[in-house]
């Protein structure tokens, strides 16, 4: 038997294991004890006193993309009546908590399933910010959401920040974060191939010890803009 035709049985077993591990998407919460060696990013830089959070002052649909559930836009594809921060159940949150991005998907039915957040796209690895002051409730990897954080922002309002390339150092479960603080880097982590983007999901309700974020109700943050 030639070296090229020889296949190590151990290698075959490893390949079979990886395929089976990526075949399904979990539907129940998992603990953050599962995948380890998650990457981290640089230490978050505090904002100077009095400086507003660095949220984009405008948001446009991504060019040359068909954006599902798109909000009302102007002739140049900019979201009308846009404002960087809106009130959700009494909590003030950023609509686009990123350094820079365009809207690649809205909230609503997409491909016959509910897309329960918005997608913010940038081909580059830009910073992702905390949408408001809050406390980190979850930090882990999931096959469906990749590297993700869930932050409690007060007044029964939470947000999921998913598909991060990496987490910022010093952002761990139980930590307090400030509005506009860098919490990670936009990425494309998941068990399947996706473009780089932030899945940003705002949720309301009461946190359950067992259900966690999966006992909350997802809401469309863009619908909180005037006349949207």
Q: What is the mean pLDDT of residues 60-85?
A: 96
| Residue-range definition of the domain harbouring residue 166 | 29-224
- pLDDT over 90 (residue 198): yes
What is the structure's pLDDT at 184?
97
> In 3D, which of 31, 22, 24, 21 has the Cα closest to residue 214?
31
What is the structure's pLDDT at 34?
32
**Distance between CA atoms of 102 and 89, rounded to whole angstroms?**
25
Q: What is the pLDDT of residues 145-156, one digit of tens each?
A: 999 999 999 999
Q: Is 217 part of any domain?
A: yes
Length of the chain measured in residues:
228
Residue 96 tokens read as 């686009």
SS3 73: strand
In the block, tokens 């007044």 appear at 155
Using CA atoms, how far residue 205 sits from 47, 60, 153, in Å, is: 30, 30, 12
Q: What is the pLDDT of residues 80-124, one digit of tens each?
A: 999 999 999 999 999 999 999 999 999 999 999 999 999 999 999
Q: What is the DSSP letter of 187?
A: B
**Distance between CA atoms of 68 and 71, rounded to whole angstroms?**
9
> In 3D, which of 145, 136, 137 has the Cα closest to residue 199?
145
Q: Is 21 part of any domain?
A: no
Q: If you average pLDDT over every residue of the chain, what do you get?
A: 82
Cα 22 → chain centroid: 20
**Domain tally for the chain?**
1
Bridge-partner residues for 164, per DSSP? 147, 186
Q: How confident is the model at residue 53 (pLDDT cuts 50, 70, 90)?
A: low
> In 3D, which of 135, 187, 196 has the Cα closest to residue 164?
187
Residue 124's domain is classified under what CATH number? 2.70.70.10
SS3 198: strand
Q: How confident is the model at residue 52 (pLDDT cuts 50, 70, 90)?
A: low
- pLDDT over 70 (residue 167): yes
Q: Is 185 part of any domain?
A: yes
What is the structure's pLDDT at 19?
34
Of 70 and 36, the structure prediction assigns the larger pLDDT to: 70
Bridge-partner residues for 146, per DSSP? 142
Q: How confident is the model at residue 211 (pLDDT cuts 50, 70, 90)?
A: confident
Q: Cα angle vertex 121, ends 116, 126, to 5°?
A: 120
In the block, tokens 């559930």 appear at 69
- Asked whether the beta carbons of 122 and 186 are under 8 A apart, the reply is yes
What is the structure's pLDDT at 103?
98
Q: Is 132 part of any domain?
A: yes
């Amino acid at each position: 038997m030639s070296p090229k035709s020889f296949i190590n049985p151990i290698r075959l077993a490893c390949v079979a294991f990886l395929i089976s591990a990526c075949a399904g998407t979990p539907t129940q919460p998992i603990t953050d004890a599962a995948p380890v060696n998650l990457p981290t990013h640089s230490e978050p830089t505090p904002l100077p006193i009095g400086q507003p959070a660095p949220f984009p002052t405008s948001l446009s649909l991504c060019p040359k993309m068909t954006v599902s559930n798109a909000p009302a836009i102007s002739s140049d594809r900019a979201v009308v009546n846009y404002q960087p921060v809106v009130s959700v159940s009494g909590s003030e949150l950023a609509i686009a908590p990123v350094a820079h991005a365009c809207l690649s998907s809205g909230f609503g039915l997409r491909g016959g399933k509910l897309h329960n957040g918005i997608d913010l796209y940038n081909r580059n690895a830009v910073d992702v910010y905390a949408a408001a002051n809050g406390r980190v409730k979850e930090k882990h990897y999931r096959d469906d959401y990749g590297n993700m954080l869930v932050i409690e922002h007060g007044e029964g309002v939470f947000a999921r920040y998913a598909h991060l390339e990496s987490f910022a150092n010093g952002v761990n479960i139980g930590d307090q974060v400030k509005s506009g603080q860098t919490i990670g880097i936009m990425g494309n982590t998941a068990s399947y191939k996706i473009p780089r983007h932030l899945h940003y999901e705002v949720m309301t309700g009461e946190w359950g010890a067992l259900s966690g974020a999966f006992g909350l109700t997802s809401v469309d943050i863009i619908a909180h803009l005037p006349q949207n």
